[in-house]
Amino acid sequence: MIRATQPDSAAGPRLGADLTPLIDVLFMLIVFMVLTANSAQLAIEADLPSTEESGLSLPSPDAPPLTVAIRAEGSAYSVDKTDYSDWQSARAALQSALDAAPDRPVVLAAEPNAPVQRLIDAMAYLQQAGIPDAQILLEAR
């Protein structure tokens, strides 16, 4: 039979938390901070080409963007707020606008329910026309 011993009445029951795990964690945090605070910052120096060297020209900030809207219903395309029902007529208008101002930024804006093929056709044409970049605006459903 196991007998339970009575705690010493002079010592009383042990009340209080054991602080050993807390002290261990604090020492680990201090070691981590010391090791990471003295680490060297790695940096690589790079000579980036300017726009003159790369052959790219920045659009003038005063030029409004050439907007190509791709619609879900009604007229399929809109180039600079002029509606077109098919891609061939919209492409001709887009080409004439690009010929008039080749440095003008291009923005493709597609409605949420517009067919994706229309957006792909417009992007493929801009790539063929040599437009290096265009902004694409999409609205979440």
The closest of 93, 73, 71, 96 to 82, measured between CA atoms, is 93
pLDDT digits (tens, 9 = 90+) for 14-53: 677 888 999 999 999 999 988 888 666 667 787 777 666 5
Query: Residue 130 and residue 104: Cα distance in Å, rounded?
Result: 13
Assign domain 65-138 to a CATH class: alpha beta
Residues 6+ apart with CB under 8 A from 58: 51
Burial class (CB in 10 A: 0-12, 13-18, 19+), 77: buried
Asked if the model's pLDDT at residue 140 lies above 70, the reply is: no
- Residue 8's pLDDT is 57
Asked if the model's pLDDT at residue 7 lies above 80, the reply is: no
Which 3-state string (H, E, C) describes 92-120? HHHHHHHHHCCCCCEEEEECCCCCHHHHH
- Residue 129's pLDDT is 87
More confident: 28 or 75: 28
The structural domains of the chain, with segments of one domain joined by +, span 65-138
More confident: 96 or 61: 96
Asked if the model's pLDDT at residue 74 lies above 80, the reply is: no
Q: In what order do the strands lie in the sheet with 135-138?
A: 82-84, 77-79, 66-70, 106-110, 135-138
pLDDT digits (tens, 9 = 90+) for 85-136: 888 999 999 999 888 888 888 888 888 888 888 888 888 998 898 887 788 8
Query: Residue 93 and residue 90: Cα distance in Å, rounded?
Result: 5
| Residues 54/85, Cβ–Cβ less than 8 Å | no
